[in-house]
Amino acid sequence: MKAVIQRVKNASVTVVSGEGRAGAGGIDRGLLVYLGVARGDTEEDAKRLAEKIAFLRIFEDGEGKMNLSVQDAGGGVLVVSQFTLLADARKGRRPYYGNAADGETAQALYEYFMDRIRKTGLVCESGVFQAHMEVAYINDGPVTILLDSKEW
């Protein structure tokens, strides 16, 4: 499971379809998390990653040091599914997405991940799984961190 975490001043996601545009989720200060689910990922991967993100100390304290978690800072989390994080573009010019989990498995783990975020006491908003979305945000810092559940 891979995640791109961005510290944001605000973030929102809008679903775009042939029928128009509709807001799906949004937060004020907090974390925007792009989440990619790989083949072989499990609920344990989702649980560990959710806990890592919920308690990651990347918000500044009163002395300007990154010493606070999103929870300590009173922020929320916006999670957007993004299978393209699993792209393999080492060969050729067209990325290979065969490392991404199938849709049914990915959606179940995406929802489980968000449930685990909520169990830490955080507000967790989301996009719409497998929808075409537009994401708007103001990156704060900027602070952007990449995590892979298989690397720790």
pLDDT at res. 36: 98
Known catalytic membership, residue 83: yes
Q: What's 34's domain CATH number?
A: 3.50.80.10
Known catalytic membership, residue 129: no
pLDDT at res. 23: 78
pLDDT at res. 20: 81
pLDDT at res. 19: 84
pLDDT at res. 17: 84
pLDDT at res. 123: 97
Number of domains in the chain: 1
- Spot the catalytic one: 84, 113, 120, 129: 84
Chain position carrying tokens 């990325």: 95
Q: Angle 115-117-122 (CA atoms, 0-180°, nearest 5)?
A: 115
Known catalytic membership, residue 6: no
Spell out the alpha helix ranges (H) of the chain.
Answer: 43-55, 103-119
The pTM for the full model equals 0.95
User: Torsion angle, CA of 16/116/74/143, rounded to 10 degrees?
Assistant: -70
Pairing mode of beta strands 76-81, 66-68: unpaired
Spell out the alpha helix ranges (H) of 13-122.
Answer: 43-55, 103-119
Walking along the chain (152 residues) 10 residues at a time, the average pLDDT comes out as 98 90 91 98 98 98 97 97 96 96 97 98 94 96 96 84
- Spot the catalytic one: 82, 107, 120, 129: 82
pLDDT at res. 21: 83
Q: Which structural domain range is residue 7 located in?
A: 2-151
